[in-house]
Amino acid sequence: MTALDEVKIGGLGASRLRVEDQRFVRGRGTYLDDIKLPGMLYMEIVRSPLAHARITRIDTSKAWQIPGVRLVLTGEMMAQRNLAWMPTLSYDTQAVLATDKVRFQGQEVVVVVADDPYIAKDGCDAVEIDYEPLPAIVNPEQSAAPGAPIIRDDKPGQTDNTCYRWEVGDREATERAFAEADVVSSLKLHYPRSHPSPIECCGAVADFDAGTGKLTVYMTTQAPHIVRAAVALIAELPEHQIRIVSPDIGGGFGNKVPVYPGYVHAILASILTGRPVKWIEDKTGNLISTGFGRDMYLDAQMALRRDGKILAVRMHADTDQGAFFADAQPSKFKVGLLHSAFACYDIGIGYITAQGHYTNKAPGGVAYRCSFRVTEAMFFQERMMQAAATDLGMDQAEFRRINLRRDVAFPARTPFGFLVDSGQYHKCLQVGLDAIGYDEFRREQAAAREKGRLLGIGISTMTEPLGAGNSREYDILGIKMFDSAELRVHLTGKAILRTGARTQGQGHETTWAQIVAHELGIPADDVVVEEGDTDTAPYGMGTYASRSTPVAGAAVSMAARKVRAKARKIAAHLLEVSEEDVEWELGRFYVRGAPERGASIQECAMAAYSNMPDGMEPGLEATAYYDPPNLTWPFACYIVTVEVDPETGVWDVLRVVAVDDCGVRINPMIVEGQIMGGLTEAYAMASMQFQTYDADGNMIGANYMDYLLPTAWETPGFELHEVVTPCPHHPIGAKGVGECAAVGGPAAFVNAVIDAIGDAGVRNIDMPLLPDRVWTALQTRQSVS
Ligand code: PCD
């Protein structure tokens, strides 16, 4: 009897083709807009054209007169039901429909429900609203200025535009370290507002059945159980009468974590009309009103010893929160995991302060491919590293070598309280430097410069805390951040697996089956994976923060191990030996000392329903809930080379090298796809993407002519490498990876451009590095924002 070949059965390490692509590439996916229920109505939203204004009159009478209009909802009608405002996941409140004022352009003011979407749009056009404009506040500076109009005058006791203040670290020790420093390096920058812009926009089909009292909502959410809890708590509907179904999702990228007003409108509209109601955003609606990412101003200093050792860091963040503090983030910290900055470096002392500001912009600092502000943290960290090395006159790679944590140092406590689990940072850096040919490039760069050509190289080394969370530091509405898996092995040895996570394209249907194959030896093709329906899935906290592999993936392993433990008892019974004499190899139990006498996992499955030992419950199923002991800490080294045209400021990417260590890779092909996707987004943010506003708060970039997405044409090629440091606390040694390249990548691109023009004395150019910004920096030899 030869042991099963794990890769052949699609276990760990198999680059198994994605099973979900069978339907996706054939156009057979069932996305929200594919759902059509009998008698369904359509909903459209009247949005505010102004960023800040008092509402003086709303007249919906003409809309009601249009044949086919079934319902027109105003803030006042919501208020009568105590639903005009809803709580946010960041413990603030958000208007569901505006009553008193509008506070950002695109805010929801009136909702029209009609027989078809065109009539609903006509209904929206017929609504008359008078506004009395107020001055708009579009950045933290204006927000904090004395005499600024108070945006949140709805909140009792709110006397200015401060949303929160937060601090972490040791202020006094940090001041002492700065006093002793040989060199103090400083940097200020803005991480611009950006948008996840998934291909499919947000939407819902709400279906309230007055006969049974059951509410079913199909919606594009990354976290169905959280929505169910929120609906139960906010709308006070009984939880067992609520079913949230998240169908195929056309990308999430963090955009589909928050609970948006549109979902609430659709639910209420269905309850009031007694019919199913569909709401789907258009692209502009998605870009202007749903959760943005970033929009943070950072100002920091680093205390350095002449020999390159970092003594301490000090940092202040001003975040532009928009009109409502609706960050969909589950940590107990106001600015998410901003304080994961510098976690990969051996720095003992630091102090971070942050202030959140209300502005007249859309709310919801969503973690756009980011575990809650780690993108800002890692971007700032790596830009600061470059500035500090430059100030010391030290080579970029050498400066990192001096400060990166050594392999023996793990687990390592950061000055802000995180425990970094494991890594091989120096090895990753070296693999990257060798791959790009660092020393050779530096020589080429010097030679090119003699001829007036500007070449540059940018390094970004970073670790990211992935896998929200552990229940000590995370919760959502008080619910702990565990996840779950339920595995049922049928009598023929085929299985169904359900988890509390929800894939939006990442490939869970493929990879979770691989974990089962690894634990049980059941071929991955024999395991079907289902996620996203709260009526059937075990309770879980959803997919974001690259948490699925660290948390739900771990639960899959644990559930499979419970199944294996039961199967072992069945095997002992079948083999007529005691359990202690039964050994396991992939897919099969056998008698110790007599390996030819065995029972396969499939034979055990059959026996679980037909020939179990006396007194044993029939069946072969298990559920596991997993509360991770820590976050997983992948590491990555991204290196980019560029050439900048001194005449035009246009820059071209020459090469991109990525070395990712995400622990054990379940499916190497999928991991590579994740890294390439993240690098593409990193390139987009560095080179072309930002959401900007004019002085009146009009959003510039509410369409894809202005908000740019890179196509295959612009996107550079990526050279990928791997290092594997198994995660010490994850059952199969895996770490999260989905976000790493989007988090660590932007700094590598920007560092490369700054490196190319650094001789001109330019210290910073704020993203995106549009050619005119680069050109202006070259002309004025100054930082550009
Ligand atoms: N993996 C493997 N291995 C390892 C890891 C991992 O294999 N070691 C794989 C898994 O299994 C899956 C993936 O890979 O499949 C991923 O994973 P992860 O890392 O765990 O993550 P998840 O949780 O699953 O996911 C999430 C992420 C995020 S977060 C984001 S943004 C994005 C990413 O994911 N999104 C998306 N990616 C993606 N992709 C796609 N296609 N789509 C989408 O949407 Mo946030 O927080 O939400 O912002």
300-325 pLDDT per residue, tens: 999 999 999 999 999 999 999 999 99
Which among 382, 531, 681, 739 is annotated as catalytic?
739
- Percent of the chain scored above 90 by pLDDT? 94
Let me know if residue 552 belongs to a domain: yes
- Of the three residues 586, 604, 626, the one that is the final residue of a domain is 626
pLDDT at 1: 53
Confirm whether 382 is a catalytic residue.
no
Q: What is the dihedral of CA 18, 20, 23, 27, to 10 degrees?
A: -90
pLDDT at 32: 97
- CA 230-99-118 angle, to 5 degrees, is 80
User: Which atom number of ligand 1 is nearest to the Cα of residue 674?
Assistant: 37
Task: Give 182-218 pLDDT, tens digit per residue.
Answer: 999 999 999 999 999 999 999 999 999 999 999 999 9
Task: Give 217-270 pLDDT, tens digit per residue.
Answer: 999 999 999 999 989 987 778 999 999 999 999 999 999 999 999 999 999 999
Residues 67 and 206 reside in one and the same domain: yes
Residue 159: pLDDT band (50, 70, 90) is: very high
Residue 491 and residue 374: Cα distance in Å, rounded?
46
- Of the three residues 569, 604, 626, the one that is the final residue of a domain is 626
Residues 588 and 524 reside in one and the same domain: yes
Counting beta carbons within 10 angstroms of the beta carbon of residue 457, is it exposed (0 to 12), middle (13 to 18) or buried (19 or more)? buried
CA nearest to 359, candidates 765, 695, 646, 127: 695
CA 737 / ligand 1 centre spacing (Å): 6
CA 662 / ligand 1 centre spacing (Å): 12
Let me know if residue 335 belongs to a domain: no
Confirm whether 222 is a catalytic residue.
yes
CA 602 / ligand 1 centre spacing (Å): 31
pLDDT at 2: 62
Residue 508 and residue 666: Cα distance in Å, rounded?
11
Higher-confidence position of 436 and 367: 436
> What are the backbone angles phi and psi of residue 602, rounded to the nearest 5°?
-70, -40
Residue 479: pLDDT band (50, 70, 90) is: confident
CATH code: domain of residue 659 = 3.30.365.10
The overall average pLDDT reported for the chain is 96
Residues 636 and 621 reside in one and the same domain: no
**Structural domain count, the chain:** 3
pLDDT at 237: 86
Residue 740 and residue 212: Cα distance in Å, rounded?
46
Which residue has its alpha carbon closest to ligand 1 atom 17? 738
Residues 279 and 130 reside in one and the same domain: yes
Confirm whether 739 is a catalytic residue.
yes
pLDDT at 234: 77
**Above 70 in pLDDT, residue 761?**
yes
CA 674 / ligand 1 centre spacing (Å): 7
Would the ipTM clear 0.95, i.e. be above it?
Answer: yes
Residues 382 and 450 reside in one and the same domain: yes
Residue numbers of the domain that contains 602: 6-29+482-626
Residue 111: pLDDT band (50, 70, 90) is: very high
Let me know if residue 44 belongs to a domain: yes
Residue 656 and residue 707: Cα distance in Å, rounded?
24
Residue 554: pLDDT band (50, 70, 90) is: very high
The strand pair at 349-358 and 310-322 is best described as parallel
Residues 668 and 688 reside in one and the same domain: yes
Which residues lie with the beta carbon below 6 Å from any ligand 1 atom? 222, 251-254, 257, 367-370, 504-508, 511, 543-549, 662-667, 670-671, 674, 677, 734-739
* pLDDT mean over 328-346: 94
Which residue has its alpha carbon closest to ligand 1 atom 37? 738
| E strand spans, 273-428 | 277-280, 293-304, 310-322, 349-358, 412-413, 419-420
pLDDT at 758: 80
Collect all residues with Cβ–Cβ distance below 8 Å to 25 and sequence separation of at least 6.
none
CA 752 / ligand 1 centre spacing (Å): 27
pLDDT at 555: 98
Residues 662 and 700 reside in one and the same domain: yes
Confirm whether 94 is a catalytic residue.
no
pLDDT at 767: 98
Residue 423: pLDDT band (50, 70, 90) is: very high
Which residue has its alpha carbon closest to ligand 1 atom 36? 253
**Above 70 in pLDDT, residue 724?**
yes
Residue 432 and residue 397: Cα distance in Å, rounded?
10
pLDDT at 297: 98
- Percent of the chain scored above 70 by pLDDT? 100
Residues 568 and 668 reside in one and the same domain: no
Let me know if residue 377 belongs to a domain: yes
Which residue has its alpha carbon closest to ligand 1 atom 9? 671
The model's pTM: 0.97
CATH code: domain of residue 223 = 3.90.1170.50
- Of the three residues 610, 626, 642, the one that is the final residue of a domain is 626
Let me know if residue 608 belongs to a domain: yes
Query: Could you tell me the CA-to-CA distances from 758 to 618, 752, 774 in Å, in that order?
Result: 71, 10, 11
**Above 80 in pLDDT, residue 768?**
yes
Let me know if residue 171 belongs to a domain: no
* pLDDT mean over 609-615: 97
**Above 80 in pLDDT, residue 47?**
yes
CA nearest to 551, candidates 539, 562, 563, 567: 539
Residue 782: pLDDT band (50, 70, 90) is: confident
Which among 222, 424, 504, 514 is annotated as catalytic?
222
Residues 86 and 127 reside in one and the same domain: yes
Residues 604 and 648 reside in one and the same domain: no
Let me know if residue 190 belongs to a domain: no
Residue 17: pLDDT band (50, 70, 90) is: very high
| E strand spans, 520-650 | 527-531, 582-585, 588-591, 594-600, 621-626, 635-644
pLDDT at 100: 95
Write out 60-78 in H/E/C secondary structure.
CHHHHHCCCEEEEEEHHHH
Residue 329: pLDDT band (50, 70, 90) is: confident
Residues 636 and 622 reside in one and the same domain: no
Let me know if residue 772 belongs to a domain: yes
Residues 655 and 614 reside in one and the same domain: no
